[in-house]
Amino acid sequence: MRAAVVTTFGGPEAVEVVEAELPEPAARQVRIKVAAATLNPVDAGVRQGVFGGAGKRIGLGWDVAGTVDATGVATAWSVGDEVVALDPGMVRPLGTHAEYVVVETDAVAKAPATVDAVHAATLPLNALAAVQALDLLELSQGQSLLISGAAGAVGGFAVQLAAHRGISVTALARETDEELVRSLGAAHFASGGVQPGGFDAVLDTAFLGETALEWVRDGGAYIGVIPQAAPASVRGVRTGAVEVSADGARLAELAALVDEGVLTLRVAETYALDEAAKAHARLAEGGVRGRLVLVP
């Protein structure tokens, strides 16, 4: 089968599409025939060597939508099931940017019924990161939340999920994105001039760090999206960062919210698997609204 990998670190040109051995599922695993797999910033980090692994062949891709193709023992999934899954990992021989991928059975969820596989592939990593970050913030209905980078993939899901929970969301984004973030459910919009201490919590998907921390009231909460990179606590503000984990049960809940119209899946562009390097080059240009998706 074909798979996108890196064997040396660097720019988009470091991405290769190679022939790899078809993986076989072990106990409590399923093999998915990949219909679509999303390209995320973490893949660029892997490609650049941020997470190490020099001298190894490293597979790319965490998100997948497709069809169960084979199963190991002790799994409730059946061949032919249409599914989505998160397959996290920084340094491993194969990722989801391939024709087939083996994942743990408890990382898998039934795919949303109302969207195609290309859109479904954008759900796992970014929506799980958003909902797990919101869980860490522990906000109640009516409390106030500022989300930086609200027009991005994680930020956009966070706006919708928080608004669905009855939280008062202020979206921080570029002026040109105001219409978008309001359509996602933001009650308020900011592009600058945020009031210090004005919010019960901040979800910082734009990596603003200490700047965003100043916007949290005394005793509030700050959650970022880069593990081990949260700013130190000040004024009694609880700080931390989400480290997204695979969770098939939670992913199933998110897929149901897609079918209910609560969550919007945004695809910017699609690329053939053989164009993986081209997709990385587009990601590196920035300004992408929605996700880039690879189709084997």
List phi, psi (to 5°) of 215. Answer: -85, -5
Q: How long, in residues, is the chain? A: 296
List phi, psi (to 5°) of 268. Answer: -85, -55
**Two tokens, residue 243:** 């480290």
- Cβ atoms of residues 152 and 130 within 8 Å: no
Q: How many CB atoms lie within 10 A of CB 113?
A: 11
* 108, burial (CB in 10 Å: exposed 0-12, middle 13-18, buried 19+): buried
From first to last of its 296 residues, what are the pLDDT tens digits of the chain?
Answer: 999 999 999 999 999 999 999 999 999 999 999 999 999 999 999 999 999 999 999 999 999 999 999 999 999 999 999 999 999 999 999 999 999 999 999 999 999 999 999 999 999 999 999 999 999 999 999 999 999 999 999 999 999 999 999 999 999 999 999 999 999 999 999 998 899 999 999 999 999 999 999 999 999 999 999 988 899 999 999 999 999 999 999 999 999 999 999 999 999 999 999 999 999 999 999 888 899 999 99
The CATH number of 2-123+265-295, from 1.10.540.10, 3.10.129.10, 3.40.50.300, 3.90.180.10, is: 3.90.180.10
Domain limits, the chain: 2-123+265-295, 126-241
Q: What is the DSSP string of the chain?
A: -EEEEESS-SSGGGEEEEE-PPP---TTEEEEEEEEEEE-HHHHHHHHTTT--TTS-EE---EEEEEEEEE-SS-S--TT-EEEEE---SS-S--SSBSEEEEEGGGEEEPPSSS-HHHHTTSHHHHHHHHHHHHHHT--TT-EEEEETTTSHHHHHHHHHHHHTT-EEEEE--GGGHHHHHHTT-SEEESS-PPTT-EEEEEETT--THHHHTTEEEEEEEEESSTT-PPPP-TT-EEEE------HHHHHHHHHHHHTTSS---EEEEEEGGGHHHHHHHHHH----SEEEEE-
The rounded distance, in Å, linking the Cα atoms of 53 and 3 is 18
Residue 192 is predicted with a pLDDT of 84
**Two tokens, residue 138:** 């522990």
pTM exceeding the 0.95 threshold for the entire prediction: yes
Report pLDDT digits (tens) over 114-170. Answer: 999 999 999 999 999 999 999 999 999 999 999 999 999 999 999 999 999 999 999
Q: Are strands 168-172 and 144-148 parallel, antiparallel or unpaired?
A: parallel
- Cβ atoms of residues 44 and 90 within 8 Å: no
**Two tokens, residue 211:** 């700047």
Residue 246 is predicted with a pLDDT of 98
Q: How many CB atoms lie within 10 A of CB 189?
A: 17
Residue 228 is predicted with a pLDDT of 86
Report pLDDT digits (tens) over 222-247. Answer: 999 998 889 999 999 999 999 999 99
Fold of 126-241: Rossmann fold (3.40.50)
**Two tokens, residue 98:** 């391939």
The rounded distance, in Å, linking the Cα atoms of 180 and 168 is 17
Residue 52 is predicted with a pLDDT of 95
